[in-house]
A = this chain, B = another copy of it.
Amino acid sequence: MKACVYRAPGAPLEVAEVPDPIAGPGELVVRVKACGICGSDLHAAGRNFRMPPGTILGHEFSGVVETLGDGVEGFERGDPVGEAQRCREVKLVGFGEVPGAYAELMKTRPASVFKMPPGMSFREAATVEPLVVGLHGLHRAGFQAGENCVVMGAGPIGIATMLWARFAGARAIVVSELSEPRRRLALTMGADAAVDPRMHNPAGKVESLTGAGPQVIFECIGAPGAMAEAIAYAQRSSRVVIIGVCTEDDGFAPITAMSKELDMRFSLGMERAEVEMAIAALASGRVATAPMITHTMGIDDLPKAFAALALPTNQSKVMIEF
């Protein structure tokens, strides 16, 4: 089959012919229909994460069951399925141990996928994972209806978080984002305002909209300096929820966080109930992720799109389709 293969830290991915996966006992092989590019993929490929050359990345996938290994129950050939595991548990699919879904076929286990409900598209199904990351962040915030928030970053995780804050009855949601097209996307998808933080303080915007500051700051950027920026936007007793994965050291002035008596809550992973809730909300149309998919392409164009995402971008979720 055709797959998109990792060669070395920082090197471009390559499309190559590799052997088809074979479903062992308790395994499924899925014909991939869509697979999103995750920031974790970019991190893993860009730095020396000790992934073996030949790794096939990609875990935000959907597809159709192609073959079933011995002993697999509850699935049939032809079932449409999406991925619902923990993206960031490094020893999982798509990070070296198990080949991922930047390929025509991929091998997985029943516990890692969900059956797509009627009416859900493959594109939507491939967004369940980032959607759940945002939902977990919302739960970490203990977010209450009527609270104001700032969402830092309008990449897929920022958009997902914003969707859930809206779903959960946020009063004002102000997105902070450098890219103008991403700000427009955030507005289209439900933000009350989207500001360029070089020009406007998003917390000030919250206050001008509602007369009160943000109770919650969602940090969805994951780059050095982001914690300090989140702390700056916080008001007294705000909760600052760190969802963006920053793989480098980062710092700030503790005295600022103390003077505001902040709660910083780090968010990672997901609960089974959150996965179910995201699927249900997506299936019912109460949460809609389709507009966050700003670019799709075939597998042959993946290396180029992948490289482009490593730089500052105007895209949100970028996805391959078959």
Residues of chain A whose beta carbon lies under 8 Å from any beta carbon of chain B: 135, 138-140, 142-146, 164, 167-169, 171, 210-212, 222, 227, 242, 245-255, 257-269, 273-274, 276-277, 280-281
A280 contacts across to B, CB distance below 8 A: 171, 210
Given contacts A171-B280, A251-B250, A252-B249, contact A263 B265 (CB under 8 A): yes
Number of copies: 4
A251 contacts across to B, CB distance below 8 A: 249-252
A156 → chain B closest CB, angstroms: 17
A281 contacts across to B, CB distance below 8 A: 146, 171
A262 contacts across to B, CB distance below 8 A: 264-266
A245 contacts across to B, CB distance below 8 A: 254-255, 258
The main secondary structure of chain A at its interface with chain B is: mixed
Please state if B261 and A146 are interface contacts (CB–CB under 8 Å): no
A257 touches which of B242, B255, B258, B273 (Cβ 8 Å)? B242
A56 → chain B closest CB, angstroms: 24
If A246-B255, A250-B252 are given as contacts, then 13 extra A-B residue pairs at C-beta distance below 8 Å, sorted by A number, are A139-B144, A139-B145, A140-B261, A145-B168, A146-B274, A210-B280, A227-B254, A242-B257, A245-B258, A246-B254, A257-B264, A263-B263, A263-B265
Q: Name, among A138, A142, A268, A281, the residue most crowded by chain B CB atoms within 10 Å (CB to CB).
A: A268
Rounded to whole angstroms, the CA-CA distance of A225 and B268 in the bound complex is: 23
Rounded to whole angstroms, the CA-CA distance of A273 and B222 in the bound complex is: 33
Given contacts A139-B144, A164-B145, A168-B168, contact A266 B277 (CB under 8 A): no
Rounded to whole angstroms, the CA-CA distance of A242 and B264 in the bound complex is: 11
Q: Name, among A146, A168, A250, the residue most crowded by chain B CB atoms within 10 Å (CB to CB).
A: A146
Rounded to whole angstroms, the CA-CA distance of A265 and B261 in the bound complex is: 7
Please state if B266 and A261 are interface contacts (CB–CB under 8 Å): yes
A71 → chain B closest CB, angstroms: 25
Rounded to whole angstroms, the CA-CA distance of A146 and B252 in the bound complex is: 33
Please state if A145 and B138 are interface contacts (CB–CB under 8 Å): yes
The 14 sampled A-B contact pairs (Cβ below 8 Å) are A139-B145, A139-B146, A145-B168, A171-B280, A212-B273, A245-B258, A248-B253, A249-B251, A250-B253, A251-B252, A257-B264, A257-B266, A261-B266, A262-B264
A248 contacts across to B, CB distance below 8 A: 253
Rounded to whole angstroms, the CA-CA distance of A269 and B255 in the bound complex is: 12
Rounded to whole angstroms, the CA-CA distance of A178 and B167 in the bound complex is: 30
Considering the complex, give the chain B residue whose CB is closest to the CB of A243: B258
Given contacts A255-B247, A258-B242, contact A264 B267 (CB under 8 A): no
